[in-house]
Structure 1
Amino acid sequence: MKKLLAVTACPTGVAHTYMAAESLIKAAKEKQIPLKVETRGAVGVENEFSAEEIAEAHAIIVAADTDVLEGRFAGKPVVKVPVAQAIKNPAGLLDEALAKTASASAASDLAAQVEASKAERSAKRTGPYKHLMTGVSAMLPLTVAGGLLIALSFIFGIEAFKEQGTLAAALMDIGGGAAFALMVPILAGFIAFSIAEKPGMAPGLVGGMLASKIGAGFLGGIIAGFLAGYVAKWLKDTIKLPRNLEGLKPILLIPLLATGITGLLMVYVIGEPVKAVMDGLTHWLQSIGSANAVLLGLLLGAMMAFDMGGPVNKAAYTFAVGLLASQVYGPMAAVMAAGMTPPLGLWLATLLAPGKFTKDERDAGKAASVLGISFITEGAIPFAASDPFRVIPSIMAGSAVTGALSMMFSATLRAPHGGVFVLAIPNAVGHLALYALSIAIGTVVTALLLTVIKKPVEAAKAAA
């Protein structure tokens, strides 16, 4: 019996990672295929493969949108797809992996695998989106921890942190002074790491720190990360030394040259123009009129629901999270509210029109309600996968309404995650009642649209 391995990872490491793993495991059991799944989520690496397991595997499925150390699989047949594909079509991925032909060297020499890993990983890159999401994935724990600690400091009063020596001041120092200060350097460092591996880390971290000091913000950090990564990768591929001096490249030459080049470009060429862009964006968002605010909320809301945790969703979320460091809190409120609405709307629709959903979907609706209040938009994926042309427009409409209302009500959110559990923290949310109302209205809009446009289950089966 051919053994398969699969690794799943999404940028946030919260929902897609584990939903994909569960789908693959379920499909493998139905097909009686030996399968082990390694998850790389927010809690770290679980069920990590050993070298022996990789050597024994017929093929590996990589369902990931971030770096998963693919060099380990050098010489093995690999099926690479976005993480969402493993949720939508796990059986097809298993069949594709089984159909792969193992190379002659794949089944034997572990030493050859290790030796070939660097070249293999470079060959397997999937482009800028993956590099960006690797950085975002590394940054998010800092953002969430920092944002929640800042929110907790407001329990003692919105300005209590200004009194030195108090618990509120300590929480603000930890969340804002430390965690938020590391956001941009970590973002840049892991973007560079995804591009150039370890040699990119130092120039990426330094470039990100310079972006923070200059005031170029998260946009400067993204640019610094890509710049540092590609400079380090170019140096790694270009510099040729005698074999006995090769050890100098990763510990001396590349860090020195890449950090120097990245730093000088950030200081003299890139930093100030990007700072001007960030200052302009921040000023516009802080002085935005009600009409423009509604349009921005409408756009961010629709983006959050469009692919439910995919690239468009993550673009809106990254935009909002990056603005927290600039003390712009409106877009974050709109994004989280709009991300909660799709699963909540689907749950409500299963209650209002149970005849239009299968028993499995009605059961999934109960789970979606929990995911929705937790700000895990991915709870809507099973419904969208089974009926995309009705579900996706409905949830986009509901999320767009929620985002627009949140911006129109001038709601603000100082924590980047947490769902309804953050709402209980005093002063974490501005205009709390109106904010909750915007979520409720968007939920109802989604549910009503679904009850109108979805076909009853029996009619849908007959049409099929």
Structure 2
Amino acid sequence: MAIKKRSATVVHGASGAAAAVKNPQASKSSFWGELPQHVMSGISRMVPTLIMGGVILAFSQLIAYSWLKIPADIGIMDALNSGKFSGFDLSLLKFAWLSQSFGGVLFGFAIPMFAAFVANSIGGKLAFPAGFIGGLMSTQPTQLLNFDPSIMQWATSSPVPSTFIGALIISIVAGYLVKWMNQKIQLPDFLLAFKTTFLLPILSAIFVMLAMYYVITPFGGWINGGIRTVLTAAGEKGALMYAMGIAAATAIDLGGPINKAAGFVAFSFTTDHVLPVTARSIAIVIPPIGLGLATIIDRRLTGKRLFNAQLYPQGKTAMFLAFMGISEG
């Protein structure tokens, strides 16, 4: 009697679906229903990296320009080379330079972290490296190879990075690709390690390389260039309208789809160094601060309590957490 060998298939992505849905309409709705969860999974893991990098960068600026009073038009390295600082002030300036350098490196890891965890959410841990590579290539794209007929030689040029847009696209595509390959490529048990540690990583890395070089980097770079052109042409009025729109969309739908869409746009512009995330950060904390403050001043202003007894301690908690950028208090 023939003995059936167990199929060597690795556990799939975080969606938990063991088998593909046979109904095309259900599959399509499932895709669009799960996609926001995958994207938010990446954003939630990118935010700590942004916070760490942003806070450490802020320390460097505070030390250099507020404490040591360096003129705003002079960089920290120029201040170090000026010879005007010594002793403790020189040590502080060195620490400011280290914080600036380290914070910038951390900030640069935000997009690769986002792409890696989106891919991981879709295709499991096997998709993590492909997502990370794609995210890294979205911020540090491979140079373009061009033939210059005037000198009859090949030369390289630097493309416009696709940044957040490119990372989003490649992480989703790579995640589903790895998930599909893991399901379709069936090997005997003794080749399982070869499949998971060599075959799937190599195939996914080659795909990411080709997709980023030929499709996603040109497309994402074109979009980024257009956005920068529009915002630059609009000047301060354009930045003001952007800030008002992001803040309003954030505050009216905390935790909902509108809020998530606003966060996606805000983080995209922030990681691309186009516009700061200040408007969204303020909109996140104003509602809980306002509600918490209302539970403190209601009796003083109206002479009576306006809320249920259980809401008063919750109001204080909400206001405390709001100062740390948390609106769910």
Q: Give the alignment's TM-score, normalised by structure 2.
A: 0.72
Alpha-carbon separation, structure 1, partners of 2:98 and 2:14: 46
Give CA deviations for 1:75-132 in whole Å, capped at 9, x if unaligned: xxxxxxxxxxxxxxxxxxxxxxxxxxxxxxxxxxxxxxxx996489531886111111
- Cα distance per residue 1:323-358 (max 9 Å; x no partner): 23333344x111111111101221233324554311
Q: Which of 164, 180, 193 pairs up with 2:107?
A: 180
Choose from 241, 251, 254 the match for 2:197: 251
Q: CA deviation at 1:281?
A: 1.7
Structure 1 residue identity aligned to 2:16: S
Question: 1:333 corresponds to which residue?
Answer: 278
1:342 to 287, 295, 303: 287
The answer as to whether partners of 2:285 and 2:322 remain within 8 angstroms in 1 is: yes
* Distance change in 2, residues 1:286/1:334 (3 Å): farther
Please, which moves more after superposition, 155-164 or 269-278?
155-164
Residues 246-395 of structure 1 mapped to structure 2, 5 A cutoff: 246-330=192-276, 332-350=277-295, 351-352=297-298, 355-379=305-329
Paired residue type of 1:341: I
What whole-Å deviation, never above 9, does each CA across 1:7-52 have from its counterpart, x for those lacking one? xxxxxxxxxxxxxxxxxxxxxxxxxxxxxxxxxxxxxxxxxxxxxx
Matches within 5 A, 1:413-428: none
Shift of 1:291: 4.4
Partner SS for 1:367: helix
Q: Distance between the aligned counterparts of 2:102 and 2:10, measured in 1? A: 42
Measured on the aligned residues, the alpha-carbon RMSD in Å equals 2.5
> In structure 2, how many angstroms separate the alpha carbons of the residues matched to 1:224 and 1:289?
31
Contact persistence 2:138–2:163 (CA under 8 A):
yes
Tell me the CA shift for residue 174 of structure 1: 0.4
Structure 1 counterpart of 2:123, one-letter code: A
- What is the one-letter code of the residue matched to 1:252? F
The 5 Å alignment of 1:220-259 reads 220-259=166-205
Query: What is the CA-CA distance between 1:375 and the residue it aligns to?
Result: 2.0
Q: Indicate the SS of the match to 1:288.
A: helix
Counterparts of 1:334 and 1:242, CA distance in 2: 55
Comparing 292-301 and 129-138, the one that deviates more: 292-301
Q: Choose which of 158, 161, 166 in structure 1 pairs with 2:76.
A: 161
Question: Could you report, residue by residue, the CA deviation over 1:130-153 in whole angstroms, capped at 9, with x for unpaired residues?
Answer: 111111122111110001111111
Q: Which moved more, 1:306-315 or 1:238-247?
A: 306-315
User: Which whole-Å CA distance do the structure 2 matches of 1:119 and 1:220 have between them?
Assistant: 21
1:399-414 mapped onto 2 (5 Å cutoff): none
Task: Say if 2:163 is the partner of 1:217.
Answer: yes
Q: Which residue is 1:67 aligned to?
A: none
Provide closer, same or farther for how the CA distance between residues 117 and 217 of structure 1 changes in structure 2, counting only shifts above 3 A: closer
Cα separation, 2, equivalents of 1:280 and 1:325: 16
Q: Which has the higher contact order (CA 8 A, sep 6+)?
A: 2
Which one has the largest radius of gyration?
Answer: 2
- Contact 1:143-1:180 within 8 A present in 2 as well: yes
Letter in 1 for 2:100: M
Name the SS for the 1:376 alignment partner. coil
**Cα deviation digits, residues 255-305 of structure 1 (max 9, x gap):** 011111122111111111111211222343344345444432332122212
Q: Is the 8 A contact 2:52 2:106 kept in 1?
A: yes
Match of 1:147 among 51, 54, 58: 54
The superposition leaves residues 132-178 of structure 1 with CA deviations (integer Å, 9 ceiling, x where unpaired) of: 111112211111000111111101125543346832221111011x2
Give the Cα separation in 2 of the matches to 1:260 and 1:161.
41
Q: CA deviation at 1:227?
A: 1.5
How many residue pairs get aligned? The number is 263
Q: Does the C-alpha gap of structure 1 residues 367 and 345 become closer, same or farther in structure 2, counting only changes over 3 Å?
A: same
Gaps of 5+ in 1: 1-114, 380-464
- How has the CA–CA distance of structure 1 residues 325 and 298 changed in structure 2, closer, same or farther, with 3 Å as cutoff? closer
Alpha-carbon distance in 1 for matches of 2:294, 2:178: 51
Unmatched segments (≥5 aa) in structure 2: 1-8, 19-29, 66-71, 81-92, 142-160
Contact map agreement 1:143 1:321 (CA 8 A) in 2: no
Q: Percent identity?
A: 30
